[in-house]
Amino acid sequence: MNNIAHSFKVKIYGLQEYSLMLVDIFKGLSKFWRTWSDAVNEMYWIGARAFLPVLLGGIFVGIILALETGHQLDHFGAKTLVGRTVSLGMIRELGPVITGLLLAARTGAKNASELGAMQISEQIDALRAFGTSPVEKLVIPRTIAAVVMFLPLTAIADMSGILSGMIVTKLSLNVDTSFFWHSALSALLMKDIFVGFIKPFFFAFFISTISCYYGFSTRGGTVALGKTVINAVVVSSLIVLVLDFIFTKVVWELL
C-alpha cells in the first residue's frame, strides 16, 4: 500500500515538474531568437533526417489500407470507392498517427538520450552555473523545430500513402487511376484536411516536451539512461494515440 502511495506521489510530482517546465517554455519563447541556430540544426535532425522513414511508413500504410479495404469493398462491387477510404484514412488518421509514432520513437529517443546524458555528466548543471536556462537552450529549439517539421513530414506521409494506395489499387484491383482520384478528392472536405493537419502541431509539442522532460529527470548512470529513453518513447507514443482519440472523438464531433 505504501509503495502504491509513494508511486502515486512520484507521478504527481513528475506532473508538477513537467507543468513547471511548460510554464518555463512559454516564458522563454520571447528569447527564442537567441537560440535560432540551435533550432535550425534540430530541424535538420528532426525533419530532413526523418524524411526516409516517414516516406516508407506512409507508402506501406497506404498499400495495406488500399489492399485491405479494396478486397472488402470488392465483395460489394464498390472497389471504386477505395480512393475515398485511402484518402480519408491517410489524411484524417493514419498519416498523422504514423508520422507521430515514428517521430515519437526517433525524436523522443534522441531528446531523452541527449538530455539524459547531459544530466548525468552534469552538463545541465554547468549550463545553469554559467547563467543559461536549460529550457531556453535545449527544450525550446527542439520543440520549435519539431512543431515546424512535423507538418511537412505529415504531408509527405499522407501523399506517399495516397499515391502508393493508388498504384496498388491500379495493379491489384484494376481500378483506373481517374476513378481512384475522383473518389479520393470528392470525399475530402475542408474539415478533414484541417483536422489532419492540426494534429501534427500537438503531437510535435507533446513528443518534444515529454521526451525533454524525461531527459532532464534522469538520475543515476547508464541503466537509468536506458529507462529514461524507454519511458520517453512509450509515453510519447501513448500521448500520440490519446491525442488522436481526443481529436477524432471530440474535435471531429464539434466541427
Partner 1 sequence: MIEISKVNLELGEKVILKDISLSINKGEIAIILGPSGAGKSSILKIILGLWQPDSGKVYVDGTNITGMSEAEILPIRSKMGIVFQANALFDSLNVEDNVSYFLKEHSKLNSDKIKEKVAEILSFVNLQGTEKICIDQLSGGMKKRVAIARALSFDPDIILYDEPTTGLDPINSKSILDLIKRVSNRGATSIVVTHILNDAISIGDTLSVINEGKVVQTGTVHDMLNSGNQFVKDFFYEVYQDAALLKK
Query: Which residue in the set 22, 74, 132, 248 belongs to the binding site for partner 1 (CB under 8 A)?
Result: 132
Measured in whole angstroms, the distance separating CA 4 from the mean position of its chain's CA atoms is 31
Q: Which stretch binds partner 1 (CB under 8 A): 56-64, 122-130, 144-152, 154-162?
A: 122-130
HSE-CB for 137 with a 13 A CA cutoff:
14
Measured distance CA(157)–CA(135) in Å, rounded? 30
Considering beta carbons, is residue 120 or 184 the nearer one to partner 1? Answer: 120
Identify the residue whose cell numbers are 470507392. Answer: 81
According to the binding rule CB under 8 A, does residue 5 interact with partner 1? no
Residue 24 vs residues 120, 153, 204, 224: alpha-carbon distances, Å: 22, 27, 18, 25
Query: Which residue in the set 133, 187, 188, 248 belongs to the binding site for partner 1 (CB under 8 A)?
Result: 133
Least separation in angstroms between CB 114 and partner 1:
9
Least separation in angstroms between CB 123 and partner 1:
5
25's grid cell: 517554455
Query: In sequence order, what are the residues at sequence separation of 6 or more whose Cβ sits closer than 8 angstroms to the Cβ of residue 103?
Result: 46, 50, 54, 146, 150, 153, 203, 204, 207
Least separation in angstroms between CB 131 and partner 1:
5
User: Hey, is 121 helix, strand or coil?
Assistant: coil
Q: How many residues bind partner 1 (CB under 8 A)?
A: 11
Q: Which stretch binds partner 1 (CB under 8 A): 57-65, 97-105, 120-128, 228-236?
A: 120-128
Query: Which residue in the set 26, 33, 76, 130 belongs to the binding site for partner 1 (CB under 8 A)?
Result: 130
Pick the closest to residue 217 from 16, 6, 45 (CA basis). Answer: 16
Measured distance CA(232)–CA(211) in Å, rounded? 5
According to the binding rule CB under 8 A, does residue 122 interact with partner 1? yes
Least separation in angstroms between CB 117 and partner 1:
9
Pick the closest to residue 206 from 157, 142, 253, 249 (CA basis). Answer: 142
Q: Specify the DSSP class assigned to residue 251.
A: I
- Kindly write out the interface string for residues 66-105 of this chain, putting x where it contacts partner 1 by CB under 8 A and - elsewhere: ----------------------------------------
According to the binding rule CB under 8 A, does residue 222 interact with partner 1? no
Query: Which residue in the set 53, 60, 105, 123 belongs to the binding site for partner 1 (CB under 8 A)?
Result: 123
Residues near partner 1 (CB under 8 A) are 121-123, 125-126, 128-133
